[in-house]
Chains A and B, each alone.
Chain A
């Protein structure tokens, strides 16, 4: 703490020297909770009832230089469900110094970088998930011409307030072929990446110390069509499960992603195919598959629609890129795809008067079909095959405005999820769960920025299946905006057919003033996966008061 204040005042000293052209920017985020015991859901509040995660980020820019620090505290404990790595910790989490001119961009310290779509390398921060895998080291970006750029990185991956044992290095190059070759008809971009990890193997020669991954990609835009291909291959490495080497064999990994889209005024279509075989990449080989995504160096999101309603968020998919070879489970990766369609009607249609908007999404993900030979410790995968279905989602959303005061959104979703994906345990062998969810949302606007919003939701479980999970749910949300700055809400999700017929109620409000936003909520949190950007973390059921404060400056 003292160091922080000292550092801050030193920074301010610099600032007073250069008030003509230097400037500060940054922000504060504070999330805290007070947990209370709740017999009804069997929640025995832990001893640390009060928990808080705080982040203060300060940056200072002076001409071509920018410097920044981020102070973080997880005191007295981190919020429930976060990795124990954070509990009781505080200090400077990240810092950096950056120089940038027309052609050169150099960063020392901690930085966030992404090569291509992030499948080969991505370091990022997600405070809701408790992920911060910033790379600590050096990054150099070189842009010699408008059509060419090169990036080199070297360093270790942040793990709590420490860094990974493995050392990462990477190179990324991008070329705008249309610009270089003066092609007008198509816009073509070519990219190539290399990422390597060095981690000592002690004296164990059966474990490779160096693991390299290579990737290439090509993206195009031609009139209304656009698309791209990205392919990555990773050196043979040991497979690790729960910190233990699983097999004497080494296995290589691959990733392939293809997308194709079409867009014109009023209509947009996007489709993606992805195949992952033994494709997880961590800065420490023993971290593979850890619950909290710690030390992960690439980004493998679930490519499905991210739903935002209480009941459509119960059955969510999580990408399954791993190879597992054990008595209880054999799997090699995942393959699947999704399609999105967006459409706007011209003013009047049979669905409504004022330009009804439609959005539809379909996604299907399955395990890679493969035959496993346990004696030889080998497996033979198909390219697509007919592996066990992990997830299938079909959903449609209709958005209408009825008058200047009334608008509505209606959505319907039909989802099938493998029991292992949603509840844990082996995948593809425990049967699946099917649910249909309908949501109707209505908004009534009043004068002076006042508005009332209502949601009604129902979830039907397919009871003809073996697994019915917690059966049917009904939910409602009522929200009133007293002004654009002040909102109160009450919500309840009632598992009326489940054990104990539990109400997951919550109520609260938020207040915004200029760059500050404060929110307060009290209620029961349904246990399960909390997913942000297709990456998930498990949160146990709990009851309590939460407060969030965000200030940007």
Chain B
């Protein structure tokens, strides 16, 4: 424990001075086109970035739950959701059929080498980020049924602030 203490101190210092820029990382779209994470949020609109994987049951529950109310969210707040799959080559071939089979209307990005996952320090998925003007304004890891409602409250909250 003694060894951990200075570690925690350093950590606290870092969190205090850490800025919340969204790290710049190259990914690909479902069609294999390159896209950089800095292109995702360039204006005042709130963007949801959800890290998920085809083998992650809570991730799929979260995206299924949001999918049902996504049209309402978009109509009311102009929010856009990017679902970033961290599947490696074992699961990445399942992403496209799964997204289609489930009828999700999200923009799907692939982070096959997990560069984005590492850059945002996601030890586990799901990890949900709200991003505005390329700044991470809110983070939530894990999913429990109904958590999408709290997420929507946050989206409305940050959409209102200018």
> Which A residues are within 8 Å of any B CB, using their own CB?
1, 4-5, 8, 12, 15, 22-30, 54, 56-59, 61, 71, 73, 75, 90, 100, 112-114, 116-119, 122, 124-125, 127, 146, 176, 187, 189, 219, 221, 226, 259, 261-270, 272, 299, 301-303, 306, 308, 340-344, 354-355, 357, 359, 399, 401, 407, 443, 445-446, 449-451, 453, 481, 483-484, 487, 510, 512, 514-515, 517, 533-534, 550-553
Contact = CB atoms under 8 A, between A and B. Distances in A.
Interface of B: 3-4, 6-7, 10-11, 13-15, 17-21, 23-24, 31-32, 34, 55-57, 64, 68, 88-94, 96-103, 112-115, 118-124, 127, 138-147, 149-150
A283 B38 CA distance: 36
B90 A23 contact: no
Given A112-B114, A113-B113, A484-B144, A266 B23 contact: no
Contact of A451 (B56, B112, B122, B145): B145
Nearest to B16: A553
A331 B64 CA distance: 43
Given A27-B123, A552-B121, A552-B123, A75 B97 contact: no
7 contacts: A25-B120, A124-B114, A263-B101, A268-B99, A342-B100, A481-B144, A517-B142
Given A263-B96, A268-B96, A552-B120, A24 B19 contact: yes
Contacts of B90: 301-303, 306, 533-534
A343 B30 CA distance: 19
Contacts of B89: 114, 116-119, 122, 299, 301
Contacts of B102: 342, 344, 357
A26 B97 contact: no
B123 A29 contact: yes
A265 B100 contact: yes
B145 A453 contact: yes
A301 B88 contact: yes
B124 A550 contact: yes
Contacts of A12: 13-14, 17
Nearest to B8: A28
Contacts of B4: 30, 54
A534 B94 CA distance: 14
B84 to A, nearest CB: 15
Contact of B7 (A56, A146, A515): A56
8 closest A-B pairs by beta carbon, nearest first, are A342-B101, A268-B97, A27-B121, A484-B147, A552-B121, A268-B101, A117-B89, A451-B145
B135 to A, nearest CB: 10
Contacts of B64: 357, 399
Contact of A449 (B3, B99, B100, B144): B144
B97 A342 contact: yes
A443 B64 CA distance: 14
Given A118-B88, A344-B101, A445 B145 contact: yes
Nearest to A263: B100
A536 to B, nearest CB: 12
Contacts of B101: 263, 266-268, 341-344, 357, 359
A308 B55 contact: yes
Given A301-B90, A340-B97, A553-B14, A449 B149 contact: yes
Contacts of A261: 93, 96-97
A30 B20 CA distance: 22
A301 B90 CA distance: 6
